[in-house]
């Protein structure tokens, strides 16, 4: 019988405690790697659309702040186009990256992005989705990055018709994906576990 020499699966491990050093070295006062941390700036003075700030904190199952997380966001531009080679519907705003990365601050656990409010994009079956921002969260103790979304509270009609939000069985949990708004600032706190646990997506 022939011996099969399959390679064994590499053991999984968490992203920390050095996730900040690898992903945001300038934030950690490590110079000479990048001129600026990747994903640090999403907009410039020529970016089209409504400027907004998205900020918030991350809490663990005990309600304590997660101070060593890194958050990445992806979104469409103000016209609903993605800055991606796979975008076939039209041309995205060349002055908008569509992607950002930000660590939580050690002193208060806050993250913050300066971006624009995204336009509507189609679901895989063509139905329009409500404007939203996709989040990816990694931190010490998280084996696989967590995916979720932030929706906008003023988009009530679009949110009610959104194909993804419609698939959430326990309707009271939809609120965990809706930001709070104060002027141009949207607050979106993320709860990893517990009674306020944010809805996470298996994608």
pLDDT of residue 139: 86
Q: Given pLDDT bands bounded at 50, 70 and 90, which one contains residue 13? A: low
2-6, 98-102, 138-142: range with lowest mean pLDDT: 2-6
Q: What is the 3-state secondary structure (H, E, C) of 84-116?
A: CCCCCCCCCCCCECCEEEEECCCCCCEEEEEEE
For residue range 38-53, list pLDDT tens digits in order: 899 999 999 999 999 9
Q: Which long-range contacts (CB under 8 A, 24 or more apart) does 26-30 make?
A: 27/103
Q: What pLDDT was estimated at residue 1?
A: 65
Higher pLDDT: 10 or 66? It is 66
- 93: confidence class by pLDDT, cuts 50, 70, 90: very high
pLDDT at 17: 60
* pLDDT grade for 133, boundaries at 50, 70 and 90: very high
Q: Kindly list the domain boundaries of the chain, sorted by start residue.
A: 19-191
Per-residue confidence (pLDDT) for residue 29, from 0 to 100: 86
Give residue 7's pLDDT: 78
CATH number of 19-191: 2.60.130.10
For residue 98, pLDDT over 80 is answered with: yes
- Nearest CA among 76, 72, 66, 82 for reference residue 193: 66
pLDDT at position 198 is: 97
Q: Is the pLDDT confidence value at 16 over 70?
A: no
Return the percentage of the chain with pLDDT > 90, whole number: 71
Residue-wise pLDDT tens digits, 148-198: 999 999 999 999 999 999 999 999 999 999 999 999 999 999 999 999 999
At 23 the pLDDT is 85
Rounded Cα–Cα distance for residues 197 and 128 (Å): 27
- Which residues, 6+ apart, have CB-to-CB distance to 40 below 8 Å? 26, 100, 101, 102
């Amino acid at each position: 019988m022939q011996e099969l020499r399959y390679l064994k699966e590499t053991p999984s491990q968490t992203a920390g405690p050095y996730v900040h050093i690898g992903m945001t070295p300038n934030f950690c006062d490590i110079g000479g790697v990048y001129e600026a941390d990747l994903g640090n700036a999403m907009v410039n003075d020529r970016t089209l659309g409504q400027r907004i700030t998205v900020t918030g904190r991350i809490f663990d199952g005990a309600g304590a702040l997660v101070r060593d997380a890194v958050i990445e966001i992806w979104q469409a531009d103000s016209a609903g186009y993605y800055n991606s080679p796979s975008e076939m519907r039209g041309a995205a705003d060349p002055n908008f990256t569509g992607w950002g990365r930000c660590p939580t601050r050690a002193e208060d656990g806050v993250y913050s992005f300066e971006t624009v409010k995204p336009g509507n994009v189609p679901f895989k079956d063509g139905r329009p989705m409500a404007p939203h921002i996709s989040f990816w969260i990694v931190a010490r103790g998280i084996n696989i990055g967590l995916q979720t979304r932030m929706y906008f509270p003023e988009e009530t009609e679009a949110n009610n018709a959104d194909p993804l939000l419609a698939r959430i069985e326990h309707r009271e949990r939809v609120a965990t994906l809706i930001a709070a708004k104060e002027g141009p600032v949207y607050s979106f706190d993320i709860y990893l576990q517990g009674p306020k646990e944010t809805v996470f997506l298996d994608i």
